[in-house]
Chains A and B, each alone.
Chain A
Amino acid sequence: MKMTQDLFLEAYEKYKNTVYSVIFNYVKNVDDTADLQQEVFIKLFNSETEYESDEHIKAWLIRVSANMSKNHLRSKKHISDAPFPEDIPFYDNMESDDLVKEVLKLPEKYRIPIHLFYYEDYSIKQISEVLETPEATIKIHLKRGREKLKKSLKKEDWL
Chain B
Amino acid sequence: MSTFRAEYKAQMNGFCDANCKTTAEDILKRAKEKSMSGKNENETDNVVDFTERKTKKKAWKALIPAACFLLISTTALAATGHLEELFRNIFKDETTAEIVEEGYLYEIHQTQEEDIFKSELVAVTGDAATPKLVFDVYVSDEQVVRNNDQIRMLAYVLGEEQYENELDKYGPWEAYGQKDEEIPNLYHVSMTGPSVWMTSGDPVVVDILQINVDLQNELWTTYETNMVYHFTPPTELYHPVSDAYYEDMKFSYGGIDYYLNNATFGVYRSELGFQYDFVGTTFAGKETDYAVLEEKLHSNWLEFVDSLVLVVDGKEYKVNPDDKGYTWCDVKGEAIGKNRCGIYPSFPSVDYENAESVILKAGDTSYTLK
Residue contact B19 to A39, C-beta cutoff 8 Å: no
Residue contact A99 to B71, C-beta cutoff 8 Å: no
Contact of A38 among B27, B81, B236, B240 (CB under 8 A): B27
Which among B30, B88, B101 has the greatest number of chain A C-beta atoms within 10 A?
Answer: B101
Q: From B236, which residue of chain A is reached at the shortest CB distance?
A: A70
Q: From B74, which residue of chain A is reached at the shortest CB distance?
A: A39
Cβ–Cβ < 8 Å partners of B28 in chain A: 5, 8-9, 12, 45
Residue contact B15 to A94, C-beta cutoff 8 Å: yes
Q: Contacts A64-B103, A99-B7; is A16 near B35 (CB within 8 Å)?
A: no
Q: How far is the CA of A103 from the CA of B73 in the complex (A)?
A: 28
Q: From B32, which residue of chain A is reached at the shortest CB distance?
A: A45
Number of A residues with CB within 8 Å of any CB on chain B? 55
Q: Is B20 an interface residue (CB 8 A)?
A: yes
Interface string of A59-78 (1 = CB under 8 A from B): 01001100110111011000
Q: Is B292 an interface residue (CB 8 A)?
A: no
B residues 1-17 near A (Cβ < 8 Å) are: 3-5, 7-9, 11-17
Q: Is B77 an interface residue (CB 8 A)?
A: yes
Residue contact B19 to A20, C-beta cutoff 8 Å: yes
Cβ–Cβ < 8 Å partners of A45 in chain B: 27-28, 31, 34
B contacts with A: majority SS: helix
Residue contact A42 to B15, C-beta cutoff 8 Å: no
B residues 347-361 near A (Cβ < 8 Å) are: 353
Cβ–Cβ < 8 Å partners of B97 in chain A: 48
A residues adjacent to B (C-beta < 8 A): 4-5, 8-9, 12-13, 16-17, 20-21, 24, 30-31, 33-35, 37-39, 41-43, 45-49, 60, 63-64, 67-68, 70-72, 74-75, 90, 94, 96-100, 103, 115, 118-119, 121, 129, 132, 149, 155, 158-159
Contacts A/B (CB < 8 Å), 8 sampled: A5-B28, A13-B24, A16-B20, A38-B27, A42-B72, A42-B77, A45-B28, A99-B4
